[in-house]
Amino acid sequence: MKTGTKSLLFGVHQVFWHPLTVCRAWTRLYGCPTFREMLCIVIHDWGYWGAAEMDGADGAGHPELGAAIAGKLFDAVHRDLVLLHSRRYAKEHGLLPSKLCWADKLSIAYDPEWFYLLRARASGELHEYRRQAQSWVPLEESDRSWLRWIKARFTKSAVAQRRKSAGHPRREVNFAMSAESDEV
């Protein structure tokens, strides 16, 4: 079974659990999501199905499936909400990330360490994520240290973007951002 499929079934992007944590993060950042936003949160990572690597060529295009569904069900605004939840995808297309990007990043703060690591190990994602972050957290360090580093980094950037946006109401839909390249 491909890593992306395992991720959705029992890994980091588990189809029931991950949206719950994103929903909690969204509520913290923006208040309660609308029904349409909630559905976008549920489907945003479905495109990982069948992806060999989370950040490989097929994994990088993962926002497209959910975006196509949101576009069909709702409108272009919700399509873009899903499509641009990936900083990498947005950057590659010369666009700004959507609100969902920051809720997605902050969601890790709502994942208990033991449960996140259990899923990441079971799906095989952990190795890929650790490899990508090895310049910051050497592979010799524990998985728990790496996770704490990621949690702190993502929480800080999501909250900072929210604050920036609050000072610039016109940027509410697409946050102006200092595009970091990591997509761990």
- Report residue 157 CA to chain centroid gap: 13
CB of 138 to Fe ion, least distance (A): 26
Q: Return the closest-CA partner of residue 104 out of 172, 20, 16, 3.
A: 20
Specify the residue, 71 or 141, whose C-beta has the smaller distance to Fe ion: 71
* Per-residue b or e along 105-118, where b marks 16 or more CB atoms closer than 10 Å to that residue's CB: bbbbbbbeeeebbe
Specify the residue, 104 or 117, whose C-beta has the smaller distance to Fe ion: 104
- Which residue from 37, 45, 80, 111 is in contact with Fe ion, where contact means CB under 5 A? 45
55 is a contact residue toward Fe ion (CB under 5 A): no
125 is a contact residue toward Fe ion (CB under 5 A): no
Instruction: Give me the amino acid identity at 102.
Output: W
The whole-angstrom separation of Cα 44 and Cα 68 is 10
Binding span for Fe ion by CB under 5 A among 4-12, 35-43, 76-84, 98-106 = 98-106
CB of 114 to Fe ion, least distance (A): 20
